[in-house]
């Protein structure tokens, strides 16, 4: 029997305003990025994409901004549908404040995980959305005796399909997805009330989860500062100052010391392009794409220069 208010009507169901708000923010950010960044191959980087070397150089706000950016309308629509489908349920189950904490922290952890394990440029709300999957999994585990096994048929298929699709599609950052999923699970454990659990046990486990997260952040933000990294960052400063001759030498040294750094090849290509050497620029872009075939800025610049 449903609960009734004093006047005999059922209590008002809370509305998932935060889910709607995040959806609206994502749409507005995409529109602004699309309008202001049209024709700029580096628009996503300029607006806050996860770009390793800029995060390492101190732009730590890039750990959270990628979850509000999208690489095109289709990307936005797919993530908006997933957020709408999952977000309403999680917000109603956990409440607005807990939902927001789970979403943002899962998104942050997804970016950190991508930063540790992948050098690819990354944007999208999918890491935070996988955190909502984690929140549903946690709720189902805790309440398995009350809700029965049927709930798993609703949770597991879309979760496994999305993870599997990420594994077979090289353009998807599956590290961010797994990080978001684990972040959602961990944060759900921390913020969800558990009356039957001993407080000291939950406090201890929460502290371990928090320490692991802080350790992961510290590790990702302090990679080995070898010479290639310093050369690369010095090259960036020289290029920003318009000293392309110095920047060229530094980028060459960085690429020679660490050939897997696609960004060094890409930035060297920009120097070549700005100094009137398109053939050398194309060669450097091909090297960047050989290291990272999904490096979209390199693809865009290569197309601007006339292709192969």
Give the Cα-Cα-Cα angle 300, 75, 45 (nearest 5 degrees).
45
What are residue 50's DSSP bridge partners?
Answer: 122
pLDDT at res. 3: 41
Q: For residue 278, what is the enclosing H or E element?
A: helix 278-291
Q: Tell the residue number behind the tokens 């995040």, with chain if given.
A: 22
pLDDT at res. 103: 96
Catalytic residue among 126, 188, 254, 284: 126
- Walking along the chain (308 residues) 10 residues at a time, the average pLDDT comes out as 43 78 96 85 85 78 94 91 90 92 94 85 91 90 74 72 71 86 90 70 77 77 66 83 88 87 91 92 92 87 82
Q: Note the CATH architecture for domain 227-304.
A: Alpha Horseshoe (1.25)
| Catalytic residue flag (residue 254) | no
Q: For residue 51, what is the enclosing H or E element?
A: none
pLDDT at res. 150: 66
User: Measured between alpha carbons, how far is 300 from 307 in angstroms, rounded to an integer?
Assistant: 9
pTM higher than the cut 0.75: no
Catalytic residue among 70, 80, 122, 177: 177
| Catalytic residue flag (residue 177) | yes
User: Measured between alpha carbons, how far is 100 from 65 in angstroms, rounded to an integer?
Assistant: 15
Q: Where are the domains of the chain?
A: 17-221, 227-304
pLDDT at res. 231: 82
Q: Note the CATH architecture for domain 17-221.
A: Up-down Bundle (1.20)
pLDDT at res. 68: 96
């Amino acid at each position: 029997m449903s609960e009734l208010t004093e006047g005999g009507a059922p209590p008002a169901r809370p509305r998932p305003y935060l889910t709607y708000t995040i959806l609206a923010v994502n749409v507005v950010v995409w529109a602004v990025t699309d309008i202001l960044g049209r024709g700029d191959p580096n628009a996503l980087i300029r607006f806050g994409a996860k770009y390793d070397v800029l995060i390492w150089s101190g732009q730590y706000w890039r750990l959270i901004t990628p979850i509000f950016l999208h690489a095109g309308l289709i990307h936005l629509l797919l993530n908006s549908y997933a957020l709408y489908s999952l977000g309403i349920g999680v917000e109603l189950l956990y409440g607005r404040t807990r939902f927001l904490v789970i979403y943002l922290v899962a998104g942050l952890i997804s970016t950190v995980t991508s930063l540790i394990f992948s050098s690819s440029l990354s944007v999208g709300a999918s890491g935070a959305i996988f955190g909502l999957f984690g929140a549903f999994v946690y709720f189902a585990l805790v309440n398995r005796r009350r809700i029965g096994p049927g709930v798993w048929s609703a949770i597991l298929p879309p979760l496994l399909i999305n993870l599997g699709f990420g594994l077979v599609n090289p353009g998807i950052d599956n590290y961010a997805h797994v990080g978001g999923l684990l972040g959602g699970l961990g944060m759900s454990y921390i913020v969800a009330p558990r009356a039957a659990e001993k407080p000291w046990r939950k406090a201890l486990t929460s502290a371990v989860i928090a320490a692991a997260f802080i350790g992961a952040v510290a590790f990702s933000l302090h990679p080995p500062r070898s010479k290639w990294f310093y050369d690369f960052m010095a090259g960036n400063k020289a290029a920003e100052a318009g000293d392309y001759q110095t920047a060229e030498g530094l980028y060459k040294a960085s690429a020679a010391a660490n050939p897997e750094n696609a960004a060094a090849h890409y930035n060297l290509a920009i120097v070549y392009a700005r100094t009137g050497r398109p053939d050398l620029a194309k060669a450097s872009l091909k090297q960047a794409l050989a290291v990272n075939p999904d490096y979209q800025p390199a693809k865009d610049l290569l197309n601007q220069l006339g292709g192969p």
